[in-house]
Amino acid sequence: MSHSPLTLYLAAPRGFCAGVDRAVKIVEMAIEKWGAPVYVRHEIVHNKHVVDDLRGKGAVFVEELDECPDDRPVIFSAHGVPKSVPAEAARREMLYVDATCPLVSKVHIEAARHHENGLQMIMIGHEGHPETVGTMGQLPPGEVLLVETVEDVATVEVRDPERLAFVTQTTLSVDDTADIVDALKARFPAIVGPHKEDICYATTNRQEAVKAMAPKCEAMLVVGAPNSSNSRRLVEVGQRAGCAYAQLVQRPEDIDWRALGDLRSVGITAGASAPEVLIEAVIDAFRARFDVTVEVVETAVENVEFKVPRVLRVTA
């Protein structure tokens, strides 16, 4: 039986970023060094496939430190943690490794510096997201105010409009954040911002690739988890860039083939915490149903690599 032709546009860059790559390596190296089980506070990255794979190797995922025994290593997720968490681990004399992405740590350092200079912080981010919780938890209560939308900027109550700074979650939509930053600067002309956007290079690059790919596609699939902020933003960016049908799928089984119908062109990308093996599985699912031609849409080349903490590089 002959299949109808289909062009798959494959975004580049896509999938794993350097921060995720480093976090996964940290868990694997910790298990290798100290044996199983190694405890991980919160999902190391927001992807079920990655978490299940590490669980199979001996990682135990918990939400809070009080679920961990004192005598086993614990790893903090790539999203970062409030200051109270390593302080508590140190108090309990636990062996802990911080897998916070260096680009998130940079935001933490920025927030601490502004605080030392007597500025109150405004954070642009999503309420309840572990990265936002971690960043806000770097400073005492009330020192970081959260805004999620342009509307929030109009109602946020600050201590002194002349003594403010802002930071952002690293996985936001570049375009949405620009609008919120503009609103902050309009309402608080003296507000201090980062030298360079806090949104990480990988988030920006993946969104740019989607914008370049969207006009070519009748539909777009983003491989990623529903709790992954950067993956959900890719769906929104695709829709805004003119792709009427953009869906988030965790694996090939999630693809709604009836909704796709008899399309001739589909774009595929993946959030920063989705491994390449899932993207390959989605492509294979299309190959089983269509006569597929793959075209790569490349907008940037990434060669960033972050070192793992020294404690894991030093042999016992």
Q: Which residues pair with 123 in a beta bridge?
A: 146, 167
In angstroms, the first-to-last Cα distance of the chain is: 59
121 in Cβ contact with 139 (< 8 Å): yes
Tokens of 263: 């399309």
131: annotated active-site residue: yes
> CB-side exposure of 232: number of CA atoms within 13 Å?
11
| Residues whose CB falls within 8 Å of the CB of residue 307, separated by 6 or more in sequence, listed in order | 22, 313
Residue 199, SS3?
coil
CA-to-CA separations, 122 to 135, 139, 185, in angstroms, rounded: 11, 12, 12
Which among 118, 146, 119, 117 has a CA at the least distance from the CA of 131? 146
268 in Cβ contact with 12 (< 8 Å): no
Q: Cα separation of 199 and 280, whole Å?
A: 27
Which amino acid, residue 309? P
Q: Cα separation of 275 and 315, whole Å?
A: 28
Backbone angles phi, psi at 267, to 5 degrees: -95, 145
Could you say which of 28, 43, 110, 131 is catalytic?
Answer: 131
* SS3 labels along 58-78: CEEEECCHHHCCCCCCEEECC
Q: Cα separation of 112 and 108, whole Å?
A: 6
DSSP string, 87-116: HHHHHTT--EEE---HHHHHHHHHHHHHHH
Number of Cβ within 10 Å of residue 3's Cβ equals: 12
Active site residues: 131
